[in-house]
Amino acid sequence: MHDPAHEADIFTIVSSLPLRRLATDLCEFFPGVDNYMTYIGLPFFSHLTHLDMLDDSESQIERLSPLLIRLPVLTHLALAVLPLSSIIQRLLEGCLHLQVLVILWEAFHSRVGRTAAAEITEHVSDPRFVMTIYHEWDEGVRLSDWDNGASTYWYRAQSFIASKRRQDIPMDCFWAED
């Protein structure tokens, strides 16, 4: 049973934590909110370096982009949907410390992802932009994976970007193989 009071308690607890990594549907995290900018001062936003947005619509990403651009230490951003190239550009240009912007595809949609990666070359040229698959929705935030060096999509994306900068991979390639 859905309990809004319980939801509010969870929000109060989580929003006060100095989180560094978060995987969530931000629109669900802030239920019933139209202006997300009112939350930019929450403590967890000041420490958040890795954000995996599970929001699954282009319009949600567009609505949240002003908030994302204002995150002070955000270095890694993963999206569960491919937004318009103008939104991608806005995020790449506006997020001052962003090192990686990755679009995640479920493994069984990898063919669709590869096609999208090939087609986006006309609109995006930033080497920090990557598309790849994920195996589990939380693989980018599990500390056990970080501690034991598991190959998460963050690891794949960072390695892919490093290879592009060394010119081992063409700059117009955006698909990082698993």
- Tell me, what DSSP letter sits at residue 176? P
Per-residue pLDDT of 155-166, as tens digits, reads: 899 999 999 999
Inside any domain, residue 178: no
Q: Is residue 14 part of a domain?
A: yes
Q: Is pLDDT at 87 greater than 50 in this prediction? A: yes
Asked if residue 33 belongs to a domain, the reply is yes
State the residue range of the domain holding 114.
4-165
Residue 136 lies in a domain: yes
Going by their DSSP bridges, the two strands 21-24 and 50-53 should be labelled as: parallel
Residue for token pair 């949907």: 81
Mean pLDDT over 101-126 rounds to 89
Lowest mean pLDDT among 1-10, 78-87, 101-110: 1-10
Report whether pLDDT(2) > 50: no
Residue 143 pLDDT: 63
Residue 152 within a domain: yes
For residues 176 and 6, the model is more confident at 176
For residue 123, being part of any structural domain is answered with yes
Dist CA 30 CA 38 (whole Å)? 11
Strand pairing class (50-53; 100-106): unpaired
The pLDDT of residue 21 is above 50? yes
Average pLDDT, the chain: 84
Q: Model-level pTM? A: 0.86
Q: Which of 73, 4, 5, 7 is nearest to 44 (CA)?
A: 73
Among left, alpha and beta (phi > 0; psi -120 to 50; other), residue 65 is: alpha
Question: Given a cut of 50, is residue 32 above it in pLDDT?
Answer: yes
Q: How confident is the model at residue 90 (pLDDT cuts 50, 70, 90)?
A: very high
Structural domain contains residue 177: no
Q: How many structural domains compose the chain?
A: 1
Q: Is the pLDDT of residue 35 over 70?
A: no
DSSP 8-state class, residue 34 = S
In this predicted structure, the answer to whether residue 45 has a pLDDT above a threshold of 70 is yes
168 secondary structure, DSSP code: S
Question: By the 8 A CB rule, do 155 and 133 touch?
Answer: no
What pLDDT score was predicted for residue 130? Answer: 96
